[in-house]
C-alpha cells in the first residue's frame, strides 16, 4: 500500500500496515493450488480459489476467509508521552480518517520511535 497521500508530521507518520485481526497465513494447500492452477503465483485470486477447494488461513483457530482479514495502519509516534496524553495524536487521526476509510482501513496500531 502506498502511504504517500497520508500526511506526515514531525511526530506522526504511517510506517506500515498490519493485518486485522492478524495477517492471513498461507499454507501448503494454498501453495499446491497456486502451483497447479496459477503457475505458482500466490495472489488474491489464487488464494480465494484455493479457499473454494478447502484451504483456509493457517493461524491456529482462525475461521476467517481471506476477504474477512482486514488491514490497519501502523502509525509511528515520535513522542515519549502516553498515547492518551498526546492531544496532537487525536488531531492527526482525525486528519487521516476519511483517507483511511476510503482505503478500507479498519483500525490503527502505534509504534514508538525515537524523538
pLDDT in tens, 61-74: 999 999 999 999 99
Which CATH number characterizes residue 82's domain?
3.30.70
Instruction: Give the pLDDT confidence score for residue 106 in this predicted structure.
Output: 96
> Do 93 and 57 belong to one domain?
no
Nearest to 109 by CA among 83, 87, 85: 83
Instruction: Give the pLDDT confidence score for residue 3 in this predicted structure.
Output: 82
> Do 77 and 105 belong to one domain?
yes
Nearest to 86 by CA among 75, 97, 98: 75
How do beta strands 105-112 and 70-77 pair?
Answer: parallel
105 half-sphere exposure, CB direction, 13 A CA radius: 24
> Do 59 and 101 belong to one domain?
no
Domain boundary among 53, 68, 83: 68
Q: How far apart are CA 42 and CA 61, in angstroms?
A: 22
> Do 15 and 55 belong to one domain?
no
Q: With contact defined as beta carbons under 8 Å apart, do 45 and 33 qualify?
A: no
Number of domains comprising the chain: 2
Does this model's pTM top 0.95? My answer is: no
Average pLDDT of the residues in 41-60: 97
Q: What is the 3-state secondary structure (H, E, C) of 66-95?
A: CCCCEEEEEEEECCCCCHHHCHHHHHHHHH
Q: Which domain holds residue 47?
A: 24-68
Secondary structure letter of residue 32 according to DSSP: H
Amino acid at each position: 500500500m502506498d502511504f504517500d497521500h497520508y500526511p506526515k508530521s514531525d511526530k506522526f507518520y504511517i510506517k506500515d500496515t498490519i493485518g486485522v485481526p492478524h495477517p492471513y497465513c498461507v499454507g501448503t494447500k494454498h501453495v499446491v493450488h497456486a502451483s497447479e492452477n496459477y503457475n505458482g503465483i500466490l495472489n488474491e485470486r489464487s488464494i480465494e480459489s484455493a479457499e473454494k477447494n478447502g484451504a483456509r488461513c493457517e493461524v491456529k483457530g482462525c475461521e476467517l476467509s481471506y476477504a474477512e482479514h482486514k488491514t490497519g495502519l501502523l502509525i509511528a509516534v515520535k513522542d515519549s508521552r502516553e498515547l492518551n496524553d498526546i492531544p496532537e495524536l487525536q488531531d492527526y487521526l482525525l486528519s487521516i480518517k476519511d483517507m483511511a476509510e476510503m482505503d478500507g482501513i479498519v483500525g490503527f496500531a502505534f509504534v514508538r520511535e525515537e524523538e
